[in-house]
């Protein structure tokens, strides 16, 4: 049976900024050869042919929240994303599909390590969109951002009084998404 919801989807508006760039290390088609995703650095990637599978490794801590997303996707369609814990690389821990969630064929997920697993190594596995009828090649970037949960909890504190709240940054009240550029 699938684990209960592991990754919650957040409406944070994030984008790529000028950060250091890494390049995926091929072959990274298996868990054993996964490329390590580094916090707050762009990972330059590509699907070089229809047999390419890209697996990335993330060292996740139970005291942090994570945001993983792709950008600048030049593939013909959104890629397929799955996520696994090192203790069971047969069980996709994502419920639902974040494929294409970030628009323009990009995925976006955010959340924290599952309580039953906790801190450890997790894998993001990217594969071709299903039902490929032609070449599925192109470039894309992946980015990982983490934030300590205590920092999130205190993001808008102190706001115990109106006076204190007025001293904090404004939160959107028009239904728009909270931009968190300032956290990066
Ligand atoms: Ca690749
Ligand atoms: Ca690969």
Per-residue pLDDT tens digits for 17-55: 455 789 999 999 999 999 999 999 999 999 998 889 999
Record the tokens describing residue 1, joined without a space.
């049976």
Name the residue among 84, 94, 68 with its Cα closest to residue 6.
Answer: 94
Is the pLDDT at 182 greater than 60? The verdict is no
Q: Which helix (H) or strand (E) holds 122?
A: strand 120-127
In angstroms, rounded to a whole number, what is the distance separating the alpha carbons of residues 166 and 65?
27
**How confident is the model at residue 1, as a pLDDT?**
41
**Which whole-number Å values give the CA distances from 79 to 12, 74, 114, 115, 171, in the listed order?**
21, 11, 24, 27, 33
Q: Could you identify the residue written with the tokens 């894309």?
A: 140
Expressed in angstroms and rounded, the spacing between residue 126 Cα and the centre of ligand 2 is: 9
Query: What's the pTM?
Result: 0.77
Q: Could you identify the residue written with the tokens 């190594």?
A: 121
**How confident is the model at residue 171, as a pLDDT?**
79
**Which whole-number Å values give the CA distances from 116 to 134, 152, 160, 182, in the listed order?**
40, 22, 34, 32
**Backbone φ/ψ region at 111: left (φ over 0), alpha (ψ -120 to 50), beta:** left
Nearest ligand to the CA atom of 51: 2
Expressed in angstroms and rounded, the spacing between residue 143 Cα and the centre of ligand 2 is: 16
Expressed in angstroms and rounded, the spacing between residue 37 Cα and the centre of ligand 2 is: 14
In angstroms, rounded to a whole number, what is the distance separating the alpha carbons of residues 145 and 153?
17
Record the tokens describing residue 14, joined without a space.
């994030």
Expressed in angstroms and rounded, the spacing between residue 140 Cα and the centre of ligand 1 is: 9
Q: Which pLDDT band holds residue 61 (cuts at 50, 70, 90)?
A: very high
Is the pLDDT at 133 greater than 80? The verdict is no
Expressed in angstroms and rounded, the spacing between residue 123 Cα and the centre of ligand 2 is: 13
Nearest ligand to the CA atom of 141: 1
Expressed in angstroms and rounded, the spacing between residue 66 Cα and the centre of ligand 2 is: 23
Expressed in angstroms and rounded, the spacing between residue 21 Cα and the centre of ligand 2 is: 18
Q: Is 19 helix (H, G, I), strand (E, B) or coil?
A: coil
Expressed in angstroms and rounded, the spacing between residue 179 Cα and the centre of ligand 2 is: 32
User: What residue ranges define each of the domains in the chain, with the CATH number in brackets?
Assistant: 20-148 (2.60.120.380)
Name the residue among 152, 153, 157 with its Cα closest to residue 183.
Answer: 152
Nearest ligand to the CA atom of 33: 2
**How confident is the model at residue 12, as a pLDDT?**
41
pLDDT digits (tens, 9 = 90+) for 75-103: 988 899 999 999 999 999 998 888 888 88
Expressed in angstroms and rounded, the spacing between residue 167 Cα and the centre of ligand 2 is: 48
């Amino acid at each position: 049976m699938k684990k209960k919801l592991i990754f919650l989807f957040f409406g944070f508006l994030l984008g790529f900024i000028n950060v250091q760039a890494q390049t995926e290390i091929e072959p990274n088609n298996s868990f054993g050869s996964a490329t390590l995703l580094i916090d707050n650095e762009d990972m330059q990637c590509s699907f070089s042919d229809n047999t390419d599978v890209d697996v990335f490794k993330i060292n996740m801590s139970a005291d942090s929240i994570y945001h993983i997303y792709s950008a600048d996707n030049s593939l013909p369609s959104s890629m397929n994303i799955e996520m696994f814990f090192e203790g069971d690389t047969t069980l996709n821990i994502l419920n639902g599909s974040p494929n294409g969630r970030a628009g323009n064929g990009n995925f976006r997920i955010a959340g924290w390590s599952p309580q039953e697993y906790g801190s450890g190594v997790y894998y993001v596995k990217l594969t071709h969109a299903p039902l490929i009828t032609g070449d599925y090649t192109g470039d894309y970037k992946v980015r990982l951002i983490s934030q300590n949960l205590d920092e999130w909890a205190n993001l808008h504190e102190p706001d115990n009084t109106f006076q204190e709240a007025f001293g904090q940054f404004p939160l959107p009240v028009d239904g728009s998404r909270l931009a968190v550029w300032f956290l990066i």
